Chains A and B, each alone.
Chain A
Amino acid sequence: MNVPASETGIHKRVVLAEADIDRALTRIAHEILEANKGPRDLVLLGIPRRGFPLAQRLAQKIAAVDPSVDADLITGQLDVTLYRDDLQRNPTRSPLATQLPPSGIDDKVVVLVDDVLYSGRTIRAALDALADLGRPRIVRLAVLVDRGHRELPIRADHVGKNLPTSSRERVRVHLAEIDLIGGSAVNEVVIEDRA
């Protein structure tokens, strides 16, 4: 938000600009292909809301590298709301749609995609949700930002940027597909600190 810190008491600094995000995603796309030795059986499942556009972008980058890949056919969305362990602690959340690619996930290499990896609880929920939907051969995790402070034994396979943060800070990812700021679509990662 383009609000001076003096008015809100919030300090914010941009840690990844649009070009940084793009570079990180390109690198992750290559890593995914490398780890999988090609695009075979790959399924990218984004965790709403911002994991889904990231999964779409990654799929497009993979398709750009390997023209045999149809980005739409390997991308899906995995909602984890109904599997969260913190439902009672927060105001009621409405579940969002889960959409799997036509090939399904059985025996696939599923890459979960999320914007920020923090406590690890969302990924724990995603693994449970995944188990109710099918049985992938391998599950990997790709995140744009890993800010630390894990509460579960979970780690990402592919990380756009490791960001050491204090727990007081908030990491906000803005993606053009979802976020309009001041009327224009923005791609950036910012850290907000309530001073």
Chain B
Amino acid sequence: MTTNTSTLPEYLIVGASIAGGAPQDLLVRDGVLAAVGPSAAADASAAAITIDAEGLVALPGMVDLHTHLREPGREDAETVETGSRAAALGGFTAVHAMANSSPVADTAGVVEQVYRLGLASGWVEVRPVGAVTVGLGGERLAELGAMAESRASVRVFSDDGVCVSDPVLMRRALEYVKAFDGVVAQHAQEPRLTEGAQMNEGDVSAVLGLTGWPAVAEESIIARDVLLAQHVGSRLHVCHVSTAGSVEIIRWAKARGIDVTAEVTPHHLLLTDELVRSYDPVYKVNPPLRTSDDVHALRAALADGTIDVVGTDHAPHPSEHKECEWAQAAMGMTGLETALSVVQHTMVETGLLDWEGFARVTSVAPARIGRLAHQGRPLATGEPANLILVDPAARWTVDPATMATKGRNSPFRGLELPGSVRATFYGGHPTVLDGRLATPRPAAGPATAQEAPAWSI
């Protein structure tokens, strides 16, 4: 099959504020930013489609290190297709699909399947996360090398949903992934301290009579893991940090030069355990919603770089897993389509981050951690055209029923939030235009060929 690159449409984005700077023009051609600045309009061909971006902020496409796409195995909850549609609408150009599918993504076969499903969908780049241990069982290392060398070129390994609690196994995993510049993303949860845990342990759990999930169960694992990472000289990523104490430990570890990165979810930046008083399982999540003090500490840590990235932990569930008693309900919340707005609300509108900082925590840093060379790049001439246009002045009310994800379990339902994604360009192809899904990027074509291998940094 031959495809002439010149037949791909060209887009001239007029008057976008790049990461909050002065308005500029951007020319998207052949999957790259062909020109940025005054020359863009001059370089554009007569056929170029003009996008008026007045008042819009241009940002590098968001990269999620933490997405549950549920396929294979739980296609009733989400599929790669529906999840990546949600991602595109939410302003993402890449997502990392967590390994807790069924079967678990613990072999080259499963990660390649997910990777191919992502290519076929074409809404965002889907990077599978490989399981650290076979079947997330916490007993034997999965074939990390095979997954790294597969077509999916896995770099992020995680048993997310379950903690790699065995210290010896964790040490081995941290050591082993050095061979291919991988990273272990730890779900920090001491299992014995959280048996039957239902919510943050504190004032609210005491009143509600729900078994507590103490902060120390997260903090003790993080403390152990940063010391292990230091000892073996590996890189460690901490998923969904949720407590002020965890922030202190990570800050300490970074000060000691330990190669640790950390992630916070949008919901932990906004919501507190007071919401659990309703016993509405839409607020049930792991790690649980914490206190207002924790929320403030997480925001400050994201602002000062102690926490590196925002990861959605997008976790769609079919309604029957939420329409039940709290204790029976599944843990998790959807997040792809609300992440940008929640981060704008909690970090940008509070003055904690500017748009440059927003790009750092939602795109640049997660791409670096996941070793995605062509994502999270500056919006400059010659760079891959993975970018989004955001209307920061828009206000919208969250309605889970209208979302692209299959999950209706958004804890932000009914909330009015700022910021809306007007356009998403993935490899130069607009997957979202006018705030609505456009078309997926064609599966085969020059844009794919041009994609650099993940390990070619």
A–B direct touch in complex (beta carbons closer than 8 A): no
| Residues of A participating in the B interface, judged by any CB pair closer than 8 Å | none
